[in-house]
Structures are given as structure tokens and as C-alpha cells.
């Protein structure tokens, strides 16, 4: 097996009658933290379900851990963890009972590690799930999943509806206790600003198509943002940037590649954010008609 934990080539997926993922190719190497970004309905959840064998591909090829996700799902789930957008745990159960349950269900689950992870939280082993806050339920869910000796974790909006402190605690536990340079994480989220510093790579889906798959290091090499004054707005617009947007103290233009030197001389170089890049590559054409 190669260093790529996931390999997709010309992958097409349907959700009902709709083509939800349309002819995309990408790979995820080991030791990466990949952000999966896209508007609602872009195909993110469909793709994640296919990665864990819950959907059949309609075209192309998909391998996860060198396995066919649907045909070899039992074997796959020994090495892949999946947390959907809502952490569902049995409300009647005590947290300690869930650890015992997992010990009997999964051959690579470590009860000792689960208890160690829970000690990082305010979750009591004797507490019933129904008495926990939503943030505590999500942390308990992460502790149970992270205690599986897996190589790939797939997270679909794992912190949806949580307050900022609970989100921060979740991601700190994920990075500190699970990411070790060999394992990889695929995270789908709308809270781009919060996780940008955690990511090594990003994938952007736009209406089922792959708009971008790139490392954050290469984003800084490929894309250029120039802050500029209103007096040179027309010259910037004439250079056909991907996006023009407001920044503190003025405006900015985002380019794919180096702009002409004459244009670059009109502005000051800024670091493009993932949010700006996401808007530039995925929003509707009419949204680009911004006037400055």
C-alpha cells in the first residue's frame, strides 16, 4: 500500500437522482489534516459517506487504506473512524458503560486510552449521556473514537452548534492526542477561520466538482492578494482578479498566480485567507459583481 490513505480517480457519486460528486480526483497522504470545504449541498457529506462505505460509487475508482470501501467495509472500519455531524450516543447509558460496550465491539479499541482522553475533559465516567451538555457529548464521542487504533479519522461538522470554548477544546484534543504524523484527519466544517491554523491541506467542493485541492504551503506560493487604495481600483479590476473584497483600511484583489509587475506595484502584498479563497472559487458568478 502506498503512503496515500485515500485515492480517488474520476470519482462520481449520486445521492438519489442527483449527481452529488462529479468526476473528482484527489489523494490524502498519511500525516495530513485536510479541511473539506463547500457550501451546503456541495457534496461533502456524500463524499464522506462513500469513504466509509455507506454509498456506492457510480463512476471512477475509490480506495481507502488500499480497500474498496463498500465491498470491504468491515475490514475498512478497523482502520477508519467516522464522526457524523451529530454525535449520537445512547442517552440512557453512562459514559463508563459506553467504554465497556466499545471494548466488546471493536478489536482495536483501548479502554485505557479512552479513560485517559476523558480525563482531559469535564465528562464524568458515571454520568449518563442525557445529563451531558452538547459540548460534553461531542467530547465524549471524540474520546471514544480516538481510542481506536485507526489511521484515518473523518469528521463531518463535528462541532456544529457548540460554543467557541467547546470547539476549541475539541480541536485541541484532536490535534494533541490523535495526530501523530502517521494518521490523517479529514474535517468538513463551515468554521473555516477556526481550523485554518490546524490544517495542512484543503479541498474545496463546488456543486459536486473539485474547485481546489492544495496544501496550505502551496496556497501561499500560488495565490497573491494585494491590498490597495480606492484610487487604483480600476487598474486592479482591469487585471481580472479572482476576487475583489474589503479589508481593514481599504480594498484587496486576489489573483491566481503573480499579477503583472505594473499591477503588483500598485498594492501591498497580503496573505490570502482560506475564507477569501473559498469565496473566490465557489460563490455564484453574480456575487462577483461587487462595486468599489
Residues 183 and 240 in one domain: no
pLDDT tens per residue across span 160-201: 888 888 888 888 888 888 888 889 999 998 888 888 999 999
- Give the predicted TM-score (pTM) of the model: 0.89
pLDDT in tens, 209-266: 999 999 999 998 999 999 999 999 999 999 999 999 988 878 999 999 999 999 999 9
Displacement of CA 15 from its chain's centroid (Å):
20
For the chain, what is the mean pLDDT?
89
In a domain, 76, yes or no: yes
- Looking at the structure of the chain, the number of domains it has is 2
pLDDT at 283: 67
- Print the domain residue range for 164: 4-94+147-207
Residues 153 and 227 grouped into a single domain = no
**How far is it, in rounded angstroms, from Cα 21 to Cα 43?**
6
**The pLDDT value given to residue 159:** 85
Tell whether 158 and 267 lie within a shared domain.
Answer: no
Q: Which residues pair with 11 in a beta bridge?
A: 24
- Cβ burial of 45 (10 Å; 0-12, 13-18, 19+) is buried
Q: Is residue 213 part of a domain?
A: no
8 membership: H or E segment, kind and range? strand 4-15
Q: Is residue 136 in a domain?
A: no
Say if residue 1's pLDDT is above 50: no
Residues 269 and 175 grouped into a single domain: no
Q: Do 165 and 64 share a structural domain?
A: yes
Q: How far apart are CA 239 and CA 102, in angstroms?
A: 58
**Torsions phi, psi for 42 (to 5 deg):** -75, -15
Which residues, in sequence order, are CB contacts of 60 under 8 Å at separation 6+? Answer: 8, 9, 10, 11, 12, 23, 25
Q: Are residues 229 and 278 in the same domain?
A: yes
Do 224 and 153 lie in one domain? The reply is no
- The pLDDT, as a whole number, for residue 218 is 95
CATH for 68: 3.40.50.300
Is the residue at 131 inside a domain? no
CA distance 83 to 72: 19
Tens-digit pLDDT profile for residues 83-116: 886 667 899 999 999 999 999 988 899 999 999 9
- pLDDT at 24 > cutoff 50: yes
The Cα 158–Cα 165 span in angstroms is 14
**Residue 121: is its pLDDT beyond 70?**
yes
With beta carbons less than 8 A apart as the criterion, state whether 179 and 33 touch: yes
Secondary structure tally for the chain: helices H, strands E: 11, 13
Kindly tell me if the per-residue pLDDT of 287 is higher than 70: no
Amino acid at each position: 500500500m502506498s503512503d496515500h490513505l485515500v485515492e480517488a480517480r474520476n470519482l462520481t457519486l449520486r445521492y438519489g437522482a442527483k449527481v452529488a460528486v462529479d468526476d473528482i480526483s484527489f489523494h490524502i497522504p498519511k500525516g495530513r489534516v485536510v479541511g473539506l470545504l463547500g457550501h451546503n449541498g456541495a457534496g461533502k457529506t456524500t463524499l464522506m459517506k462513500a469513504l466509509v462505505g455507506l454509498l456506492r460509487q457510480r463512476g471512477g475508482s475509490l480506495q481507502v487504506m488500499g480497500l474498496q470501501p463498500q465491498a470491504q467495509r468491515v475490514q475498512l472500519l478497523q482502520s477508519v473512524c467516522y464522526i457524523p455531524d451529530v454525535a449520537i450516543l445512547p442517552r440512557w447509558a453512562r459514559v463508563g458503560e459506553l467504554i465497556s460496550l466499545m471494548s466488546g465491539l471493536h478489536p482495536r479499541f483501548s479502554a485505557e486510552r479512552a479513560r485517559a482522553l476523558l480525563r482531559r475533559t469535564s465528562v464524568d465516567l458515571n454520568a449518563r449521556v442525557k445529563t451531558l451538555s452538547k459540548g460534553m457529548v461531542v467530547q465524549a464521542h471524540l474520546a471514544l473514537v480516538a481510542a481506536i487504533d485507526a489511521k484515518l479519522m473523518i469528521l463531518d461538522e463535528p462541532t456544529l452548534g457548540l460554543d467557541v470554548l467547546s470547539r476549541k477544546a475539541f480541536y485541541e484534543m484532536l490535534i494533541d492526542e490523535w495526530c501523530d504524523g502517521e494518521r490523517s484527519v479529514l474535517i468538513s466544517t463551515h468554521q473555516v477561520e477556526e481550523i485554518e491554523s490546524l490544517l495542512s491541506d484543503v479541498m474545496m467542493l463546488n456543486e459536486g466538482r473539485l474547485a481546489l485541492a492544495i496544501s496550505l504551503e502551496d496556497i501561499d506560493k500560488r495565490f497573491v492578494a494585494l491590498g490597495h487604495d480606492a484610487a487604483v481600483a480600476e487598474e486592479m479590476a482591469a487585471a481580472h482578479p479572482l476576487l475583489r473584497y474589503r479589508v481593514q483600511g481599504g480594498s484587496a484583489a486576489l489573483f491566481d498566480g503573480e499579477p503583472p509587475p505594473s499591477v503588483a506595484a500598485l498594492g501591498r502584498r497580503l496573505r490570502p485567507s482560506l475564507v477569501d479563497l473559498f469565496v473566490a472559487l465557489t460563490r455564484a458568478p453574480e456575487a462577483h459583481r461587487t462595486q468599489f
